[in-house]
Amino acid sequence: MNAQNPFLKNKYADLGAVIETSRPVLSKYSLSISQFPTSDGDKIGVTSLLLHSSGEWIEDTIYINSTDAKGLSVAQSAGVVISYLRRYAWASILGLYADEDNDGHEVKVENTKPQKTKRQSLIERYGKLYARAEAVKIPTVDYQLNEKMTDDEIEKLGVELLGIVEAKEKAGK
């Protein structure tokens, strides 16, 4: 795991790390992977083929609904989705894991400080993300929180904003 989602705080292997990690094993067993974007109506997808030098192969396609991401062009938004799907599809077709496994196995550490509630932590992380968005000149009027929002709604808004911020930051480099 070479990257961390700053909003959700989970660790993951980015697409480059997944590809680089798998290359020696693929080569050793005369395998290769080919991936290409595809679509089906309003869905964006990635088709992955795992090929063997013998001519045998397996193929699978994964789709998700296309959404408009505020602050990104249609092409940029599609690029974000395609990269995300490629990472999951590449890892999946090889039986790899590319995300932290947190199935309730987190280490519990005693802390004498008062614990923040999930909502307090969520709002604090959102505030930092919001500041990043403003720093890269993303219009934030559509990303305002209100007290009626559920934690899930805040998380969903944060994930959407994070994708836009990361794309904008990457484009600015």
Evaluate whether residue 105 is within a structural domain: no
Provide the pLDDT for residue 12.
52
Evaluate whether residue 76 is within a structural domain: yes
Would you say 144 and 153 are in contact if contact means Cβ atoms under 8 Å apart?
no
pLDDT surpassing 50 at residue 108: no
Which of 66, 71, 99 is CA-nearest to residue 161? 71
Provide the pLDDT for residue 52.
92
Mark which of 75, 100, 125 sits at the end of a domain: 100
Residue 95 and residue 143 share a domain: no
Domain with 13 in it: what CATH number? 3.30.160
Residue 90 and residue 31 share a domain: yes
pLDDT surpassing 60 at residue 103: no
pTM for the model stands at 0.52
Evaluate whether residue 34 is within a structural domain: yes
Residue 77 and residue 133 share a domain: no
Tokens at residue 173, please? 């480099």
Evaluate whether residue 27 is within a structural domain: yes
Provide the pLDDT for residue 160.
86
Tokens at residue 166, please? 């990361």
Query: CA-CA distance, 47 to 160, in Å (whole number)?
Result: 24
pLDDT surpassing 50 at residue 5: no
Evaluate whether residue 108 is within a structural domain: no
Which residues does residue 46 pair with via DSSP β-bridges, in sequence order? 37, 62
CA atoms lying within 13 Å on the CB side of residue 13: 21
Which of 16, 22, 20, 45 is CA-nearest to residue 96? 22
Q: How many domains does the chain have?
A: 2
User: Mean pLDDT over residues 10-36, rounded?
Assistant: 82
Residue 122 and residue 82 share a domain: no
Pick the residue with more confidence: 17 or 173?
17
pLDDT > 90 in the chain, percent:
18
Query: CA-CA distance, 58 to 49, in Å (whole number)?
Result: 6
Residue 95 and residue 10 share a domain: yes
